[in-house]
A and B are shown apart, each in its own frame.
Chain A
């Protein structure tokens, strides 16, 4: 008995019940398709995040007030008011390996132009924003150091905000109203698209941080939400991080053994944290899909058991003319393998198309990797063997006389 002959007999048997074979395969098709689609979404998200982090520049560091225990993924604002713009200024002045630094002060507010109005996230920074965020101005100019020093009422709009407030108009030089104050639009940022969490990054506006502190938040004691710092090179980030630590501990008069009232993280920390997040997401999606693959496997087992019972007499005949039990076992295993492998193959194609459709419709990137194809295909094979083994064993264990007598 060669494997080709076994395959031929298996194909013949499956061909006799085409609809049933197709329905059985459907379970595996859906399972493998779901695994491929889900994992490719997860891996696509991961690739996008990596790319975004790289575009931000790997030599950027963030300083946050308050202590955030290391390893936590949160990038949220610190609770305490322990970071000031003087701290940021001191870092820039005293640490030579820092290329640029800016305080970040966040707020949100209504912006009005004519009869258009829009609720906007505001980011207050200094003139280094384009360099730090690797984000250029598309129209007009960015605000200047002078604007920051004088807390000028100028604003640079994100693309979305510009389109909302000035449909069909050139926003540069126009005056918008923010909390009844007049702000001059000096520039519009280049379009950036969605963020890693699906947020529209262009739905934002940038102002001098001093303006946000004084005009929008009305702070008496100015405070900043965080500081953005860039090192002169990626290699320098470690040194910069240590020097920021020393400088701030000294400025905040933190004695040896006392905990920091700030924290510094570099982009590789951020990358690691988001990597971890997307890996968890990928695993979660993948395992939900894998469950449907197992359900498909149970479908195969069910049909194979029915098939063994239905073909008891045929098994008896085959045994009577000299088929060894091991051959009967192989034949039924071959049938469940053909079902699961064909299902797996179709599932890969469908899952791949599904992933492509998702990225097409939702604008969400997907990545069908060779790994996910190999793994789900291997998984389908294992399912075929695992769930096909018991029915095949049952067939092989039949007694020829009893099988022949079976009605």
Chain B
């Protein structure tokens, strides 16, 4: 079930949501100051996402996609504007409160995986639980479960440098979902992966979206990848220029089944 939101233009107010709104970003500005120069990364961008949506964000490099993701993921705060997460205005939250949101309510996946080096896959996945104060035994149980979800049960003792790129990204996805967040944000999660591995990652996202009703937002450069989402949002110059549903949505599991399996890959 795909919900669509009418096309939004930068300065226009957001229309009231007709579903269960989980993310509501309202006319957000982000300005970086580099010496004397001001860089306007976001210029009044507004976005509304309902619970259970799968959104792909596209747009040219430097258009503000990552900045938007960081704000949605509570890694950063807007210079101006408001951000409501599950109805709460988090743009006024302090550092510790934002850390708690990142810990429990949002999972983040990065293009460069960002696993802690020289730390096993299992322990990397355990990290959010460590900061949530979960007991050691329970941490291991849940981390194993998350690794199983991404199909990496047999790699839990491996260090990041003993894993392929695709495997590392799956560990990162396991880490993002281990604390049962309602949203997973992925900034170019397939940017460093080959085609097959990319589809495998998209298969995991589609599965999590479908089976657990997780809200997923990914940033991608590739049109192909965006077609696995239910809705594509186009960024340009710090604003949203287009926002439309995907007409003929692709099913990653199906695509994978029709692909010749490759030798050099994960398993």
Alpha-carbon separation in the docked complex, A324 to B96 (Å): 5
Check: B84 CB closer than 8 A to any chain A CB. Answer: no
24 A-B pairs within 8 Å (CB atoms) are namely: A1-B131, A16-B118, A316-B114, A317-B114, A317-B115, A318-B116, A319-B99, A319-B102, A320-B102, A320-B108, A321-B103, A321-B128, A321-B175, A322-B100, A322-B102, A322-B131, A323-B99, A324-B96, A325-B96, A326-B96, A400-B75, A400-B76, A404-B75, A404-B114
Contact residues of A: prevailing secondary structure: helix
B157 within 8 A of A: no
Selected from A12, A16, A322, A401, the residue in CB contact (under 8 A) with B99 is: A322
B117 at the interface (CB under 8 A from A): yes
Interface, chain B (partner A; CB < 8 A): 70, 73, 75-76, 95-96, 99-100, 102-104, 108, 110, 114-119, 127-128, 130-133, 136, 175, 179
Contact residues of A between 348 and 402, Cβ < 8 Å to B: 400-401
Q: With A and B bound together, what is the CA distance between A12 and B130 in angstroms?
A: 15
List of 3 A-B pairs having minimum Cβ-Cβ separation, nearest first: A322-B103, A324-B99, A321-B128
Find out whether the CB atom of A320 lies under 8 angstroms from the CB atom of B75: yes
User: With the chains together, A268 CA to B70 CA distance in Å?
Assistant: 77
- Picked from A16, A325, A401, the residue with its CB within 8 Å of the CB of B75 is A401
Interface residue tally on A, bucketed by range:
20 to 34
A221 an interface residue at 8 Å Cβ cutoff?
Answer: no
Chain A, residues 14-51, CB within 8 Å of chain B (1/0): the string is 00100000000000000000000000000000000000
Tell whether, in the assembled complex, residue A320 and residue B118 are in contact, meaning their CB atoms are under 8 Å apart: no
Q: Kindly list chain A residues whose C-beta atoms are within 8 Å of the C-beta of B131.
A: 1, 318, 321-324, 327
B114 touches A322 (CB 8 A): no
Q: In the bound complex, how far is the Cα of B136 from the Cα of A132, in angstroms? A: 74
- A-to-B contact residues, CB < 8 Å: 1-2, 5, 9, 12, 16, 313-314, 316-327, 400-401, 404
A397: nearest residue on chain B (CB-CB)?
Answer: B95
**With A321-B128, A322-B132 in contact, is A401–B102 under 8 Å at CB?**
no
CA distance A316 to B132 in the complex (A): 17
- Which residue, of A314, A316, A320, A325, has the highest number of chain B Cβ atoms within 10 A? A320
Interchain nearest-CB distance for B74 vs A (Å): 9
Q: For A313, list chain B residues within 8 Å (CB).
A: 114
